[in-house]
Structure 1
């Protein structure tokens, strides 16, 4: 009975293949384009992330060495060059397995049949119907395409394990190299895993893998593609351990970065389908060196700290707006990006440079004199405003001195004089497009007061980095961007080139203003104790206190050289603020503490080998007088330094109202954005942050 069944089945299958009614009536559908893997690359062409359901990069057959082609055909379809897409012996073996119900019987599938299954997404069910359809389509495909075309399609669609679809990604997954660099012994490893990618992966079952590898080489000898002497000389190659798959890039900080690049691609007009199936090559502005430095500095400085403490950092080239490093936390793709406008943070004193720029623009020079005493009253707030630790630079305090010591009363007075709305709009032109997570004009329409002058409103790390990049370029704003070029799946056709579509720079303020503001921030850097990065720089720090306590909830270090601007924020990664305590070095966290160490480490590493540039000299323009009393002489600094603050800089303690509580501004907002940024790098206990 079984013999009759086998005979009938084989006769039916072979009859169909030979040209029966079913064969004649079956139409070969168009070969669908394979789902390509879009690659995101650093500026030096190293891939750091991929987009697609399948990790695949197609390559032409000419890129695949002949010895790799022969290894695959020898073990998967020894008669590939001569058959018509179907192996009659294999078909009979498959039918016999169907009749007996033997799941382990050989499938009898040629390379052409396997390719048919892959491209038409046919199921692998063991049935006569599926087998008949597969055979008919394979025969028709063999009559339509050349052997090279079939083999190329097959090699680009077959699964090799380790999340790798196609021969190119398999070469990367197993050997960390492109397919054109694969040796004969390595090619045999790739051919060996096709049959069973799990059990023939040397990382899973080394003995089985090496046994299958030997079988591949024996088959190459049998098919005449390898001589005995060469076979004997080959040794099993070193295979990479199975690492974190390329498709798993979405976790951690790389996932946040990839999410940001994806958003820009969509903004440029690329659809989700383009990104996920188009096989694009996306060259980004992100520097491999800078990104690794950002991740390392951030992770090292958070080690040993409160589990809810988080950081974010963005670094921008001020000459064109190219984002060189982007660290939005390590939550992974699809989660909150701590460097984005979706996660704004109170700016504290790091916002003061925008006020200074508006002041200089209005004619108040950096040498104009202001009342820098603590406890002053202002017409647009109810409670007196105090400086950090009641610090003072006297009643004849220059704007430069006020910047170095971060004197709140001077900056509130300057903001009141020039107007909070003007400050907000200058910051917007410079790159801070949102305040408290909303467009600047919307924030203005809801009401804005002089508290903006001391950082009462929240900004994003990306926009803060963009603003400081504008200061580094003396007033010229360049829109930050991540994508330099996009190539089609062929790797040649340019679909987008930033060089052909540059954004127009915006002159946020005159260069003379930029030079003077940069000079003031250079003094902050120069008068710091340990903030050095072995080159000229300009910095401003900032903090926001934690509720009505002596502790801080947010801390910033923002600064730049003429060729790189970087903003660093440290705060809570949880849903609500936390007290920032330095569990490693002790004391409160100030801008010059953990954020400063991240900034310094990153800048030193990233700028190593980069030519040192000098800042332009200040012009000291502006002839308007500040609010300093004309009869008050210049203050004489005390000869006795504060033992907790030997450089005479604010040490970061929050300010207090007369009743010991943090007063609220008249508009009902919760505080004035306390600063106290300790720019000299001194912790309250006197320790110094390391270089």
Structure 2
């Protein structure tokens, strides 16, 4: 019996079996390790062989352009306006070709660019196989993107020679094939010259000659570059937008210093020189942009197109500028020209050099950006695009989006709804203040909008709308709120946003008000195409979102139109008299002012801000509203004058107003009764008839629901006897005074008493028929506030600004308000049934008095 089964030592056969299993396991491990290396080698080899084979196959088919014609070649992408007309180009408009043998710093520039872009440039035949292998290794095994394997020759092939720029595998193979051809046909110097003249350096500039001018104000044929300057230029082609020294100076300096390190590694400069040059400033100045770039009304619009193409379609700035793309946009040339002209007019800014701003015009039906301003000193992509890149607090211009429209949508508010403006309103420790430094009690919502009352707006947000609802509508309208703003009453009521907004954001947010509550994301590009590829609006840009109901949009338009007609936005009225609606906004301490308004055709937002530390009294009703007027007048010129139209919703109904009636009375001898009548103006009103015989002790004698009453409970004097003494004792005339009080049956609220009517009944002479009584009107017992038609609209003052008041605690919000001289209670209209001269049988009604 095997000892193994008896608890002894294992048998030799068992040992051999175990040894074979262990050996097989070791072989398996070795084989797996060996397979990994072999597999990698196989993949790389196969890839290269396929590339070579592919290149050979496509070499003949690759259509190319000769380098000799490089000076004539146009690489620009073209921009078309909203009507399909070619209006401007990108890239080639700012390019100057320069021969290498004319460059003063030729050797420095050559060595610097080779050190950064292609250090084996003089060793390969157009394709860097080691670079390709490194790229494959990092992509496959490490799952990360390595540095590009494109050589300078391949970049020339891609950007200059190949007519087909579609991103496909075939095109990649063509790049390799054409690179080989270039190396066979041209020398290294010619290829490098082509590269330096076509590469994109940012700020809508191609070629090293123009780049040297806009960054250092140096003509390469006349002046030499310093090593740190050459390093900055060589650092740009990798990512011109990211390393733009005018936009991102810190990133640009870091990249430049990295290039200086590469220059030291490859012996272009010494280590000591590297350390010295790394401490220097960038040496750029925006004046060089102004000096050397061509003046172009479309610069700001092109800048925005480049930003949007990168964000929406993933096309980098440098590729868009030089890629030969066909870009269809929503640009309206007359609007863009008017925008540039307005921002160059110092008079609109009262010649204050510290004021700057931005503006955007949007078509509300398409979301298309028709025009955009760069700023007063804007000269191209090296400058900040004020309208899109400058984020400012919107002040009270945010109120329609976050408070007013949500109150209409969610709580059925209308322009007539009474809104409290309490004198001592607080939300925890925050106490909002009105610009007028006073409380207005209770007033219609349209007056809250027109006077831009901060307290009433905060009351609405706290008691009717709520933070969550305000946030929801703000985000539906496209406003990007910081987390802090979501729980801040000051931010959502008065516009003190943490991150701020730009003019594109605000123009977009107002588009639902004139487009039946619907909104499309604001965008400049309708489509981009190249060769057989085309990208169109999709996702958020194609989707039309219902933000508010058509009723809410119409009701808000009525209130915002009233604001332009009689509120803080009167300066935005257009010369041709067409309807305009809009809202002003001014931030705390008057640092930034806004006006966002619209006609039936376009929405425009404009902001002006103070860049200095000194105080400038900015208001949305002044600078921005005037810019709106100037630009929009040109935008709509030649189009039919239009009015805002009801989209088919029930108009807002004026609220019921309880008011005194106009009383008349007379004695009817045939009925021996006094007949009273008055204007019956509502089914919800009942009328209390009061009588007095001495004009002071009033007694209620009846209630009725209509506008007439006959008083038979009177004493009619007997006929006169002719005896003067007896007639004086028993037959004198009787007198009755009447007034009527209107009472609201729903609230039991009582109006002021009507005018007093006094009726005298004279005794008839003996033997003669009875006479009609005389009616005499006396002043009533109550003041008659408001007119008799029920319309109590206050007139705003002449100077309805949107100026800030005192600081509002921790509120960074808006200080909007109307003019303190505006009528508070409403002008008193004329009595529609005003009496004539005082006389017998005619009631006298005192004329209404004006109240301030």
Q: TM-score range by the shorter chain?
A: 0.5 to 0.7
Instruction: Kindly state the Cα deviation for residue 541 of structure 1 after the two structures are TM-superposed.
Output: 0.8
Within 2, Cα distance between the matches of 1:416 and 1:31?
Answer: 68
Consecutive unaligned residues in structure 1, runs of 5 or more: 1-26, 57-114, 122-132, 139-152, 158-162, 167-196, 199-243, 547-551, 581-587, 639-644, 657-661, 682-691
2:327–2:528 Cα contact (<8 Å) kept:
yes
Q: Deviations over 1:548-567 (max 9, x none)?
A: xxxx2111111101211001
1:313 aligns with 2:359: yes
**Counterpart for residue 650 of structure 2:** 619
Within 1, Cα distance between the matches of 2:819 and 2:343?
Answer: 20
**Counterpart for residue 142 of structure 1:** none
1:579 aligns with 2:604: no
Q: 1:378 aligns with which of 426, 434, 441?
A: 426
**Counterpart for residue 815 of structure 2:** 674
Instruction: Kindly state the Cα deviation for residue 388 of structure 1 after the two structures are TM-superposed.
Output: 1.4
Local SS of the residue matching 1:671:
coil
Within 1, Cα distance between the matches of 2:564 and 2:80?
Answer: 35
Structure 1 residues 592, 366: CA separation in 2 closer, same or farther (over 3 Å shift)? same
Instruction: Kindly state the Cα deviation for residue 325 of structure 1 after the two structures are TM-superposed.
Output: 0.8
**Counterpart for residue 38 of structure 1:** 77
**Counterpart for residue 556 of structure 2:** 517
Structure 1 residues 415, 278: CA separation in 2 closer, same or farther (over 3 Å shift)? same
Local SS of the residue matching 1:339:
helix
User: 1:334-345 counterparts in 2 under 5 A?
Assistant: 334-340=382-388, 342-345=389-392
Local SS of the residue matching 2:605:
strand
- TM-score, normalised to structure 2, is 0.46
2:360–2:372 Cα contact (<8 Å) kept:
yes
Q: 1:452 aligns with which of 492, 495, 518?
A: 492
Q: Deviations over 1:403-444 (max 9, x none)?
A: 111122211110112112311220221232x24xx4xxx345
Within 2, Cα distance between the matches of 1:338 and 1:604?
Answer: 22
**Counterpart for residue 840 of structure 2:** none
User: 1:330-479 counterparts in 2 under 5 A?
Assistant: 330-331=377-378, 332-340=380-388, 342-354=389-401, 355-367=403-415, 369-373=417-421, 375-383=423-431, 385-392=432-439, 394-417=440-463, 418-432=465-479, 434-435=480-481, 438=482, 442-444=483-485, 447-457=487-497, 458-479=500-521
Q: Deviations over 1:63-105 (max 9, x none)?
A: xxxxxxxxxxxxxxxxxxxxxxxxxxxxxxxxxxxxxxxxxxx
1:291 aligns with 2:330: no
1:364–1:623 Cα contact (<8 Å) kept:
no
Q: Deviations over 1:616-673 (max 9, x none)?
A: 3373569999xxx9979999689xxxxxx963674334223xxxxx2313xxxx5332
User: 1:79-478 counterparts in 2 under 5 A?
Assistant: 137=185, 254-272=298-316, 274-300=319-345, 301-302=347-348, 304-329=350-375, 330-331=377-378, 332-340=380-388, 342-354=389-401, 355-367=403-415, 369-373=417-421, 375-383=423-431, 385-392=432-439, 394-417=440-463, 418-432=465-479, 434-435=480-481, 438=482, 442-444=483-485, 447-457=487-497, 458-478=500-520
Q: Deviations over 1:227-261 (max 9, x none)?
A: xxxxxxxxxxxxxxxxx999966888744432211
**Counterpart for residue 607 of structure 2:** 569
Structure 1 residues 620, 395: CA separation in 2 closer, same or farther (over 3 Å shift)? farther
**Counterpart for residue 625 of structure 2:** 596
Within 2, Cα distance between the matches of 1:599 and 1:35?
Answer: 38
Instruction: Kindly state the Cα deviation for residue 362 of structure 1 after the two structures are TM-superposed.
Output: 1.6
Local SS of the residue matching 1:345:
coil
Instruction: Kindly state the Cα deviation for residue 270 of structure 1 after the two structures are TM-superposed.
Output: 4.5
Instruction: Kindly state the Cα deviation for residue 318 of structure 1 after the two structures are TM-superposed.
Output: 0.6
**Rg bigger for which structure?**
2
Instruction: Kindly state the Cα deviation for residue 311 of structure 1 after the two structures are TM-superposed.
Output: 1.4
1:483 aligns with 2:525: yes
1:312–1:568 Cα contact (<8 Å) kept:
yes
Worse-superposed segment, 256-265 or 40-49: 40-49
Over aligned residues, Cα RMSD in angstroms?
A: 4.7
**Counterpart for residue 549 of structure 1:** none
Structure 1 residues 290, 135: CA separation in 2 closer, same or farther (over 3 Å shift)? closer
Instruction: Kindly state the Cα deviation for residue 165 of structure 1 after the two structures are TM-superposed.
Output: 10
Q: 2:805 aligns with which of 655, 658, 667?
A: 655
Count of matched residue pairs: 446
Q: Deviations over 1:4-42 (max 9, x none)?
A: xxxxxxxxxxxxxxxxxxxxxxx9997756772112333
Structure 1 residues 30, 305: CA separation in 2 closer, same or farther (over 3 Å shift)? same
User: 1:533-548 counterparts in 2 under 5 A?
Assistant: 533=574, 534=576, 535-546=578-589
Within 2, Cα distance between the matches of 1:42 and 1:502?
Answer: 18
Local SS of the residue matching 1:389:
coil
Within 2, Cα distance between the matches of 1:651 and 1:257?
Answer: 32
1:531 aligns with 2:569: no
1:309–1:571 Cα contact (<8 Å) kept:
yes
Consecutive unaligned residues in structure 2, runs of 5 or more: 1-58, 66-72, 97-155, 163-180, 187-193, 199-203, 208-220, 223-287, 657-746, 753-783, 788-794, 823-852
User: 1:492-503 counterparts in 2 under 5 A?
Assistant: 493=532, 495-498=534-537, 503=542
Instruction: Kindly state the Cα deviation for residue 482 of structure 1 after the two structures are TM-superposed.
Output: 0.5
1:455–1:672 Cα contact (<8 Å) kept:
yes
2:587–2:812 Cα contact (<8 Å) kept:
no
Worse-superposed segment, 479-488 or 318-327: 479-488
- TM-score, normalised to structure 1, is 0.56
Structure 1 residues 120, 321: CA separation in 2 closer, same or farther (over 3 Å shift)? closer
Worse-superposed segment, 455-464 or 563-572: 455-464
